[in-house]
Amino acid sequence: MTTFPGTARVGNFMGTHVSVDIRTALPTRELTPVLDHAFRWLRWVEETFDPDDEDSQIFRLNRGQTLRQVPELVEVLHRCDELSKATDGWFEARIDGRVDPSGYIKGWALERLSRALTQSGAVDHLIDAGGDIRVRGSASPGKRWRIGVRDPKTGVVRRVLFAHDLAVATSGRAEIVNPRTGERQEALSSVTVLGPDLGVADAYATAMYAMGPVLARRFGIELGEGPYQSLIVTRDGQEFGTPGLAAYSGAGTLLAG
């Protein structure tokens, strides 16, 4: 883990690079413990929810072993069940008797972290973990954050968004299967979902990628009637974005993602 001068810190979380950039003008003596706590939280989430770690609660759950009383585990499994219903089963954390909330847990953890930073007084911040991004406040006084939505396979910036308060989740790097057939989905290049909650956006992006082009576009249009917008990129490079994306165009400061 590396600490940069100022208020930025980077590390690893769930197999990907994660950075926390705080722009709120707070004394170093206050910011250092805030960042320390942030990365302790991420380590705890990984240790608790990694389905391949024999000491994790998810691994023990799948083996039918005794679990610790972890309220967050109950919360995550409950939300995964709700998201499965909301996506008609296209987001599914329980397949073939095995529980794996990976399609939700990273976004959920970063959303919780963002709320904790805000409560600690670090109201202006950007968190980026492999293209899952949460911004709040300002990059500099009065300036929105500038977020680059990148293709997870090529690194090409597909869209630039500007916002003071936004969650952006992109699926396409990890292997995602059709939960109804168990076959790997390969018809899309990426799906990006943005809205008010990173955990929900993460789950929706995973579900839409699993759906394939036709169902994903239909589901994205339905989402676009509410607070979540989407950008779908097919294998041949065609882009399909919901009209609400236009609300995030304009001038900004920092390029993230």
* Residues 90, 54: Cα–Cα separation, whole Å: 27
pLDDT of residue 252: 46
pLDDT of residue 132: 95
pLDDT of residue 256: 55
The sign one gets for the Cα dihedral 257, 124, 70, 43 is positive
Helix/strand/coil percentages in the chain, nearest 5: 35, 30, 35
Structure pTM?
A: 0.92
pLDDT in tens, the chain (257 residues): 443 334 889 999 998 999 999 999 888 899 999 999 999 999 999 999 999 999 999 999 999 998 988 999 999 999 999 999 999 999 999 988 899 999 999 999 999 999 999 999 999 999 999 889 999 999 999 999 999 998 887 888 999 999 999 999 999 877 888 888 888 888 899 999 999 999 999 999 999 999 999 999 999 999 999 999 999 999 988 999 999 999 998 654 444 55
Distance set, CA 216 to CA 66, 155, 171, 183, 200 (Å): 39, 22, 12, 17, 16
pLDDT of residue 39: 97
Contact 170, 191 (CB under 8 A): yes
- List the domains of the chain with CATH numbers: 2-256 (3.10.520.10)
